Structure 1
Amino acid sequence: MSKNSKVLNLKDKINGNEVDLSLCNLTEVPVKELALFPKATVVDLSCNNITSLPAEFCSLTHLVKVDLSKNQLTCLPDDLGNLANLQHLDLYNNKLTVLPASFSQLRNLKWLDLKDNPLETVLAKAAGDCLDEKQCKQCATKVLQHMRAIQDEVDRAREKRLLREKELERKREVKQREREAREKEARKREKAEEKEKRRKEYNAQMAALAAQEQQKKKSEEKKKKNGQAADKKVMVKSAPKSRRSLLGLMFKFLLLLLLGFAGVVAACRLTDLHKEAMCAPVNIAVDNSLSWAREQEGVVRQQVLKLSSALREFLEPTQRSKN
């Protein structure tokens, strides 16, 4: 049967609010076609070869009763709990071992048949025998309780997982903050070290400049001292020159005085001026000087004779020692 034929013949399968698709050799559920008939709340899909229900089947929320007995179902969709209006579910004679956790959300489920399925032990015990209407109703109640317990465990496990994830996230955040703090501290330390390095370099530069300035000052002071010493030498050298020049001037002055005095004496002694009154002191002085000179001449002669005798006495022992 093609999809087109299913669409064309689906109206023929509808009787009031029921759709009978049993014994149609179906391998999959015509979800899109069923969705076109929201008033068809009862669907019979029994006695087909359906191995799984598509996820879209869970969107048929208008369904109230579904018969999937005598198929080849090995699992049910995870979102089966979205069928909030489902009250009757027949899964007799399939290959189911477990039910999805969302099964616990089928709060309106009143009837359930899970006979002849290879259910796991705990689920099979909760399902019971389902041999009559009463047992099928009890099956729905007990399976819902069982699935709710499982869902609670799943929720608790999920909550624990979320808590662990949150704790891991918190630890990661703490580690991240610690790493960021260490990196920040490292950057701060690097900046401080760089600042200290620049400060030392600056101090070294300032010290070098100060040393250069000090050396420059010493050089200037040395040059200044050398200049002062040179000036002193010049002064010292120039001082004798000045003294010599002064002595020369004095000598020249005395010579002029002597020449002048000699001229006056010559004028007063050799010319007719000796009779004048102004030459009288000069002539007297000259006469006194000549008398003093003659007296001194005798004294000098006596001293020369004494020196000659003393020299002769001193030299005689020397000559004898040579002979």
Structure 2
Amino acid sequence: LNNKVLNLKDKISGNEVDLSLCNLTEVPVRELALFPKATVVDLSCNNITSLPPEFCNLTHLVKVDLSKNQLTCLPDDLGNLANLQHLDLYNNKLTVLPVSFSQLRSLKWLDLKDNPLEPVLAKAAGDCLDEKQCKQCASKVTEKYRVINQPLERKKEAKQREREAREKEARKREKAEEKEKRRKEYNAQKAAIAAQEQQKKKSEEKKKKNGQAAAGKKVVVESAPKPRRSLIGLLFKLLLLLLLGLAGVVTACRLTDLQKEDVCVPINVAVDDSLFWAREQEGVVRQLVQNLSSAAKEFLESTQTSKN
């Protein structure tokens, strides 16, 4: 860019920036963006061949004069200049305008004279020889591009709706899959808990049965001998009492004056017979022991002789 233009403060007057006749080949977009209050820009009579895409970000512009330049095309997003009301493109090299031109809803004045426009566009633009014709040019050209843009807009809207429908279906499917996943996890958790409870119940029932069986066996083992022990004890007690009774009777009949009584006579006789039998048995036992001793001695002697 021309260094003289870099400092726009010298070119600003109120809300207007005069950059005409500056021999510019490019539009100083970055510098113009620093002055949003400068809504009117005069870029006429320069050597500008194209506008950069960033030019469409200067949405504060209301009036732009690009007449007598070398423009061959305009940026595709020119329709972003929503506040643009006045556009002078006189004496350039334009043949067509961008489709987004239909979005310039605020455009009220347009001059396209002395441009090699396509016949259909040239017819819509008209002569633009006065204020009225330039206003009609703005109206007819924007309307023409709205008509041209309608199928594109419908197609764009259809694609947008289709994309939204796909995204909605994808979200719905993801949501259903997530719900199904949570349901399966819940059922699995519930089944695991039920299995644990069933296992616990079986274990408790098994323990209970084992406990009952052990208790039954214990009862049988412990309680069965009790009548037997009780009976033996009872018999032992009866026998002891009987022996004590007999001993008492024998003692009474042997040691007291009752021994002369008729009742004690047979008892004393029986006692005497028993004592006699015991003495006889004592002799027999002594003889038996002597015989066993002799036999053992002979056996030992014969064993000793056989070894020698």
Q: TM-score range by the shorter chain?
A: 0.5 to 0.7
Deviation at 1:111, TM superposition (A): 2.8
- Counterpart in 1 of 2:243? 245
Partner of 1:298: none
Instruction: Give the TM-score taking structure 1 as reference length.
Output: 0.59
Counterpart-to-counterpart distance in 2, 1:161 and 1:86: 31
CA distance in 1, matches of 2:150, 2:209: 85
Superposition TM-score, scaled by structure 2 size? 0.61
Q: CA deviation at 1:182?
A: 1.3
Give 1:132 shift.
3.4
SS of residue matched to 1:111? strand
Q: In the TM superposition, what whole-angstrom CA distance separates every residue of 1:90-111 from its partner, at most 9, and x where no partner exists?
A: 1654366550415432443333
Map Cα deviations across residues 212-262 of structure 1 (whole Å, 9 max, x no partner): 321231232122233325415524753773586389469849977885229
Matches within 5 A, 1:118-157: 125-128=120-123, 132-133=127-128, 140-157=138-155
Residue 220 of structure 2 corresponds to 222
Q: 1:206 aligns with which of 200, 204, 207?
A: 204
> Are 2:27 and 1:29 equivalent residues in the alignment?
yes
Partner of 1:45 in structure 2? 44
Unaligned stretches of 5+ residues in structure 1: 265-323
Measured after TM superposition, the shift of residue 189 of structure 1 is: 0.8
**Structure-1 residue corresponding to 2:2:** 2
Q: 1:1-323, aligned counterparts within 5 Å?
A: 2-3=2-3, 5-7=4-6, 19=18, 21-22=20-21, 24-31=22-29, 32=31, 41=40, 43-56=42-55, 59=58, 61-76=60-75, 78-82=77-81, 84-90=83-89, 92-94=91-93, 98-113=97-112, 115-116=115-116, 125-128=120-123, 132-133=127-128, 140-232=138-230, 234-235=232-233, 238=236, 241=239, 245=243, 248=246, 252=250, 260-261=261-262
Larger radius of gyration: 1
Give the whole-Å Cα distance in 2 for the aligned partners of 1:33 and 1:21.
14
Residues 144 and 127 (structure 1), Cα distance of their counterparts in 2 relative to 1, 3 Å cut = farther
Equivalent-residue separation in structure 1 for 2:230 and 2:7 (angstroms): 137
Name the CA shift for 1:186/1:262 in 2 (closer, same or farther; >3 Å).
closer
Q: Give aligned pairs, total.
A: 256
Give the Cα separation in 2 of the matches to 1:181 and 1:226. Answer: 66
What is the one-letter code of the residue matched to 1:175? R
Rounded Cα–Cα distance in structure 1 between residues aligned with 2:253 and 2:177 = 110
Q: Is the 8 A contact 1:35 1:60 kept in 2?
A: no
* RMSD of aligned Cα (Å): 4.5
* 8 A Cα contact 1:29 1:54, kept in partner: no
Q: State how far apart, in whole Å, the 2-side matches of 1:211 and 1:37 are.
A: 93
Sequence identity, in percent?
A: 13
Question: Partner letter of residue 181 of structure 2?
Answer: E
In the aligned structure 1, how far is the partner of 2:205 from the partner of 2:77?
82
Counterpart AA for 2:261:
G
- Gaps of at least 5 residues in structure 2 are 266-308
Shift of 1:187: 2.5
CA contact (8 A) 1:72 1:95 kept: yes
- Whole-angstrom distance in 2 between the partners of 1:28 and 1:62: 17
> 3-state DSSP class of the match of 1:51?
coil
